[in-house]
């Protein structure tokens, strides 16, 4: 096959796969940023933003933990209308409301309010990134991964001359390989 024809095919494949892959690439990239920071401890939860507030509650004078006591605590944080349930444990009480919970240490009255806000769209993106769907999506994302490899390889040959793979492209490609290799050598 002539070089000219090969180049045309290369560019056409790169163009069309590029268009097809843009949606999933943005999904995986945005979700990847969130999951990256979640794994490094910057976020408590990848799907929900969470805010915490410590406060003090009075322990029940009669020592009885019940719904009324739980509602009284939620009233302190303005969430009594959003009560869901409560669970008691060994020395603690956890009260759930629509968008969070309150954890109460029953030995000293220390309480922690957790309020969560869904990261809409991002939590759906995370679902794909974690491959929660499994079954057919595993193969679908394998096809996407192969498409990305094709995108990367065809991208090497788009340009010619001093900006192509034999010019500056060679240096940038080498840097793109050497940097992760050094990181792996250090940490793996």
Partner 1 sequence: MTKHLIPFLFIVLIFTFSCNVNNNNTANETADTALLLVATFDTAAPYYVEKPVWIEGTVTHTCKHGGKRMFIADGNDSIMVEITTGPDIVKFDDGLAGSRVHILGTVKEERIDDKYLNEWEAEILKPEESHETGLHSGAKGHEDQPNDSKLEQIKSLREQLKSSGKDHLSFFSVEAISFQEIPPVNTDINVKNK
Please choose, out of 3-11, 130-138, 165-173, 176-184, the segment that lies near partner 1 by the rule CB under 8 A: 130-138
Site for partner 1 in 83-122 (CB under 8 A): 84-85, 87-92, 94, 96-97, 101, 103, 106, 116, 118
The least distance separating partner 1 from the CB of residue 63, rounded to whole angstroms, comes to 4
Residue 104 to residue 89: CA distance in whole angstroms: 10
Query: Of these, 13, 30, 77, 128, which contacts partner 1 (CB under 8 A)?
Result: 128
Q: Which backbone phi and psi does 85 adopt, to 5 degrees?
A: -170, 175
Q: Is 154 in the site for partner 1 (CB under 8 A)?
A: no
How distant, in Å, are the alpha carbons of 4, 37, 52, 128 from that of 161?
14, 40, 57, 40
The least distance separating partner 1 from the CB of residue 18, rounded to whole angstroms, comes to 10
Q: Is 20 in the site for partner 1 (CB under 8 A)?
A: yes
Q: Is 80 in the site for partner 1 (CB under 8 A)?
A: no
Residue 28 to residue 148: CA distance in whole angstroms: 12
Greatest CA span in the chain, whole angstroms? 90
Site for partner 1 in 21-60 (CB under 8 A): 22-24, 27, 38, 44-48, 59-60
Residue labelled with tokens 């268009």:
19
Q: Is 145 in the site for partner 1 (CB under 8 A)?
A: no
Residue 73 to residue 71: CA distance in whole angstroms: 5
Residue labelled with tokens 């939620």:
74
What angle is formed at CA 116 by the lines to CA 115 and CA 119, rounded to 5 degrees?
Answer: 160
Cβ atoms within 10 Å of 150's Cβ, excluding its own: 16
Query: Of these, 64, 143, 184, 186, which contacts partner 1 (CB under 8 A)?
Result: 64
Binding site for partner 1 (CB under 8 A): 16, 19-20, 22-24, 27, 38, 44-48, 59-60, 63-67, 84-85, 87-92, 94, 96-97, 101, 103, 106, 116, 118, 123-125, 127-128, 130, 132-135, 137, 187
């Amino acid at each position: 096959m002539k070089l000219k024809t090969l180049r045309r095919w290369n560019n056409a494949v790169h163009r069309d796969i590029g268009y097809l892959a843009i949606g999933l690439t943005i999904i995986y990239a945005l979700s990847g940023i969130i999951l990256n920071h979640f794994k490094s401890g910057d976020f408590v939860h990848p799907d929900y933003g969470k805010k915490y507030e410590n406060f003090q509650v009075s322990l029940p004078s009669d020592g009885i933990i019940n719904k009324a006591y739980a509602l009284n605590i939620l009233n302190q944080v303005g969430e009594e209308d959003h009560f869901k349930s409560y669970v008691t444990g060994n020395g603690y009480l956890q009260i759930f409301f629509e968008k969070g919970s309150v954890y109460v240490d029953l030995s000293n009255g220390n309480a922690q309010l957790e309020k969560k806000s869904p990261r809409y769209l991002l939590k759906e993106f995370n679902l794909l990134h974690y491959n929660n769907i499994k079954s057919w999506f595993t193969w679908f994302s394998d096809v996407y991964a192969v498409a990305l490899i094709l995108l990367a390889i065809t991208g090497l040959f788009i340009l010619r001359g001093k900006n192509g793979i034999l010019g500056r492209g060679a240096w940038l490609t080498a840097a793109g390989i050497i940097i992760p290799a050094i990181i792996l050598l250090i940490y793996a």
